Homo-oligomer: A and B are copies of this chain.
Amino acid sequence: MRLNIRTLFLVLSTFIIICTVSLWSNCSNQTFDTFSKNIKSNYESLVQNIKPIDCLINGNSVHVDCLIKNSTVYIPFSFLKNYFEVYGKIIETDDNKKKFHWSHSYSKIYHQNGKYDSRGVFTNFQNYKVEERDRVKCVSASEGVPVSTQWNPHGYYYPTQIAQFGLSHYSKNLTLPSPKRKILENGQLNPLWNVPETSKIQIAFNAQVNSNVIDFFSTDKPISLKIDSKEEFFLSFDVALSLSTRSSIVVTIKDMKEQNEVWNLHYICSRTFIFAKGHNIYHGMHCSREFGWKKLTRNVLIDLQKGLHMLKKTTTKIFRSKYKLCDFKLYGVGFLDNLTLSSSDHISQFYAAAHWFNKHQDKESGGWINPVTRKISPVIKSLKPGWLSAMGQGQAISLLSRAFHHSGGNEVYLNTARTALKPFKIPSKNGGVLSKFMNLHPWYDEYPTVPPIFILNGFMYSLIGLYDLFSLAPNGSEVSQEAYALWRQGMTSLKNLLPLFDMGSRSAYDLRHVTLDIAPNIARWDYHATHINQLLLLATLDNATVIQTTAKRWIGYMNGARASHN
């Protein structure tokens, strides 16, 4: 706004004219007074002397442009936000006023509602969306579990991530509405199949699955089934393909916002996790033999998202309202059964993870190996592919314990979980996950480095896993007792060492400063909140005051409280 003396006169005269010609009776004194007061108040705030003042920060090296009003100095938030790492944003309130929201941390605390129940949700994992994360390459069409790119861009199975995937779906299954489900085909030949002339589809008894299934054969054009779903995006089916032909399942999706662009999701017999070209996204099912049966449960929007990510089309969330699931197509030669459309399928995703853990455990060590190099810090030897993680073991045990419970006592899960206890008794330097702080306090290592770095959140996740197995295994059973001993041993260490993670205004992520003689590794606020959430959970299982008081103090830190000085 540009103003000079003439516009000021203009404003004044205009006002006087308005006043003079006004039809309202009370214009004269009252309105004039209000106007006069406004000018006066603005003028007073001007002469109240808000002036610039130079701020010298810690000596002369840093200057900041501040303001001074009377004798109060005002510091710009733009400086403070980096200096102190605080957060702030201007919010417009309902009455069009602006307010500035200052926050010390950005994370959320989940308070426990009663004693933790191992049959229930896993911590706050009902909020996790593991497979949507950028560091998930795709959900494997072969295994139905996520493939990680966190430490290797080619993709690998990361046990911790798979456990989190499974536990999040277990938790969502308990907290979200039941899925809508529609059986499209279960071996009675849906009349809506569109079969080209040269192709063939029929019902046939399959000895392998001991059931009637769809037997299909197509040449150039596929056999297809129109679905047209804007609400449900989960497809599950059993399929057995011929390896000698280029057989595949293709699902088409239309982007209704982008000029009806059509995407083809191909599920093919390949060892590749995922690749994409043009409008085609390929997921490899890793068929092991001719007409070997595979069970697939696909969130086709996730499959689309991962393909788009590979094509660099997007790295962010998929908006489901944009899309329509159009067709389900059969190419080549194969069998199909149990084709179902649903709005979600958390429990299948949970069991996919549980099956992965049953299938991929190294029975000798009891571990699920991490097939990547893990570099922790420049001053510590990297972990070579093959290392185990107490956090991965622990979360897998939480998952398998729940699978044992949910399946009504399927002992396969229980036995796998028990075998997974082995590494908790083997020192990290010998391939296990056990270390000792100052040769005294046993600790379960998220990363079994030598020397150990004592990561807190990973340790507490492993404790929760041990507790889950203790409490869900048959009462008094050997496995329950074994898990209990490891859980108590760990809890004793936690109570002894927890104070070492208290930094007076933050929490430490680990104790690498103690073992590597370097600066403390402060937990960012979301890990700090994770620490607190884990402590609040454990406090319902162990009434030691140090757990309660530490959690309370750490919640204070999130609001700017600090331990006092002497």
Question: Could you tell me which A residues sit within 8 Å of B by CB distance?
Answer: 1-5, 8, 12, 32, 35-36, 39-40, 42-47, 50, 53-59, 64, 66-69, 71-78, 80, 83-85, 88, 90, 97-104, 437-441, 495, 499-500, 502-506, 508-509, 513-514, 517-524, 527, 545-546, 549, 553, 559-560, 562-566
Known: A76-B72, A500-B500, A502-B513. A522 touches B53 (CB 8 A): no
Q: Which of A47, A78, A565 has the most CB of B within 10 A?
A: A565
Known: A3-B43, A502-B520, A513-B563. 6 other contacts (CB 8 A): A3-B47, A50-B67, A68-B100, A83-B560, A504-B520, A509-B566
Q: List the B side residues contacting A67 at CB < 8 Å.
A: 50, 67, 69, 74
* A524 CB, min distance to chain B CBs, angstroms: 4
Nearest 6 pairs between A and B by C-beta? Answer: A74-B74, A522-B565, A517-B546, A519-B563, A58-B559, A499-B513
Q: Which chain B residue lies CB-closest to A495?
A: B517
> Considering the chains assembled together, what is the distance between the CA atoms of A367 and B55 in angstroms?
52
> Considering the chains assembled together, what is the distance between the CA atoms of A42 and B3 in angstroms?
10
* A390 CB, min distance to chain B CBs, angstroms: 18
Known: A68-B98, A99-B55. A44 touches B3 (CB 8 A): yes
> Considering the chains assembled together, what is the distance between the CA atoms of A90 and B73 in angstroms?
9
* A29 CB, min distance to chain B CBs, angstroms: 12
Q: Which chain B residue lies CB-closest to A550?
A: B517
- B68 and A73 within 8 A (CB): no
> Considering the chains assembled together, what is the distance between the CA atoms of A407 and B71 in angstroms?
58
Q: Which chain B residue lies CB-closest to A47?
A: B1
* Contact residues of A: prevailing secondary structure: mixed
Q: List the B side residues contacting A505 at CB < 8 Å.
A: 503-506
Known: A77-B73, A546-B517. A53 touches B99 (CB 8 A): yes
The residue from B73, B88, B502 contacting A76, defined by CB atoms under 8 A apart: B73
The residue from B73, B99, B566 contacting A523, defined by CB atoms under 8 A apart: B566
- A104 and B54 within 8 A (CB): no
Q: List the B side residues contacting A12 at CB < 8 Å.
A: 5
> Considering the chains assembled together, what is the distance between the CA atoms of A565 and B519 in angstroms?
10
Q: List the B side residues contacting A50 at CB < 8 Å.
A: 45, 50, 67
- A100 and B56 within 8 A (CB): yes
Task: Give 22 CB contacts A-B under 8 Å.
Answer: A3-B47, A5-B35, A45-B50, A54-B99, A54-B100, A55-B100, A56-B100, A58-B102, A58-B104, A58-B560, A73-B100, A74-B74, A75-B77, A75-B102, A80-B80, A439-B440, A502-B519, A509-B565, A517-B549, A519-B553, A521-B566, A523-B566
Q: Which chain B residue lies CB-closest to A49?
A: B1
- A71 and B90 within 8 A (CB): yes
Q: Which chain B residue lies CB-closest to A35?
A: B5
* A393 CB, min distance to chain B CBs, angstroms: 22
- B527 and A514 within 8 A (CB): no
